[in-house]
Amino acid sequence: MQKPRVFSGIQATGRQTIGNFATVRNWPLLAQTNDCIYCVVDLHAITVTRKPEDLRRESMEMFASLLACGIDPEENILFMQSHVAGHSQLAWLLGCHTMFGELSRMHQFKDKSARHATNINAGLFTYPVLMAADILLYDTKIVPVGHDQKQHVELARDVCQRFNTVYGPVFVEPEPQIAKVGARIMSLADPTKKMSKSDENVNATIFLSDSKDDIVRKCKKAVTDTEPCVRYDPDNKPGVANLMTLYSIATGKDFTEIEKIFEGQGYGVFKPAVAEAIDALIAPVRAKTQALIEDRAYLEAFMKSGAARAEAIAQKTLQRVHEVMGFYENR
C-alpha cells in the first residue's frame, strides 16, 4: 500500500526564523508514515527583485538549514525548485484554470502589494498558481504549512477540483496540515503581526543563525505589558502569549505548565528563561548549518540527486496532464 505523499517548500529569502523552524522541525517525523518531498522554492523568491549573488547564496544556506533540521535526503526527496522545470510548466497549465477573482482575493497578494507598491508584478499575482503546481505536480495529499499559507492550499484544492471536473481524476486533492503549537509566531516588537524575516526591526525576529547574545537581547526587548504576570491570554496579553508559545516550542511544555513554573515571577525572570530555552533548541541546528555550508560539494551532490528523483515523478504527472488536455505527443 502506497503511503500518502507529503509536499512542502520554504522560500530562499534570508535565514530561517524560529517560526519557520516550528513547522520544519516536524517534517522529519512525517517520513515515518508518509512519502515526503521537500524543496527550497527559489522561484517563489523572485517576486521581489533580488541580486543574483544573494539568491544563489541564500538558496544554498536554506538548503543546508533544512538538512541541519533533520531532513534525511535519502529517506526524503529534497531539492531546489528551479532544478525541476515541471513546476513552471504546470503553473502555466493550471493558470489557465484559475480565475482572476480567486487570485485577487489572496490575502498575501493584498499585503505584499501594499508593502511593494512600486513592484506589483504579475508573478506576485500568480504566485499561488505556482504554489498549486508545486503541490499537484507530486500527487500530494498532505501539505504542512503555517496559517498564512492555508489560503493558498485551499486555492490549490479548488483548482484541482476544477481541473478534475473537466478532464477526469488527474490530480490528488491536497489537504493543509497546520501545527497545533507554533503555527503562527508573532513579532517580538509588535505581537499583533506575524514574525517575518523581512522585518526592518532587528529585534522583531529570531533567526536560527542568531547567537545566544542576539537571542537574549531580542527576548529582553520583547514587547509585553505592564502586568508582570505570566499568563496565556492572547487577546489581552499578546506579547506574553507569544513568548509562552516560543517557550512551549523549545521545551515541549504546555501553557498550564508554563504558568505554574513562572507563577509569582516577573518578566525579568521569564524573558531570560525563554531566551535560554530557545538557544538550547537551535544551537545544534546553527552549528550544523554552518558546517554544511562549508562543504559545498556535499550539498550540491544531494541537490542533484534530489532533483533527479523529483524530476522522475514530475515528468509522469506532466505526461498525464498533457495527454488529457490534448497536446500532440512529441514522439
Query: Active-site residue numbers?
Result: 112, 194, 197
Spatial neighbors of 285 by CB under 8 A, at least 6 apart, are 21, 65, 68, 69, 208
Distances in Å between the Cα of 326 and the Cα atoms of 137, 287, 319, 321 are: 18, 51, 11, 9
Where are the extended beta strands (E) located within the chain?
Answer: 5-11, 35-41, 77-80, 142-144, 175-177
Q: Answer for the pair 239, 191: CB distance below 8 angstroms, yes or no.
A: yes
Give the C-alpha separation, 247 to 278, whole Å: 7
* Alpha carbons 220 and 212: distance in angstroms, whole number: 12
Q: Which three cell numbers stand for residue 234?
A: 492572547
Q: Is 177 helix (H, G, I), strand (E, B) or coil?
A: strand
Region at 21 (left for phi over 0; alpha for psi -120 to 50; beta for the rest) = alpha
* CB half-sphere exposure, 124, CA atoms < 13 A: 18
The three-state secondary structure class of 41 is strand
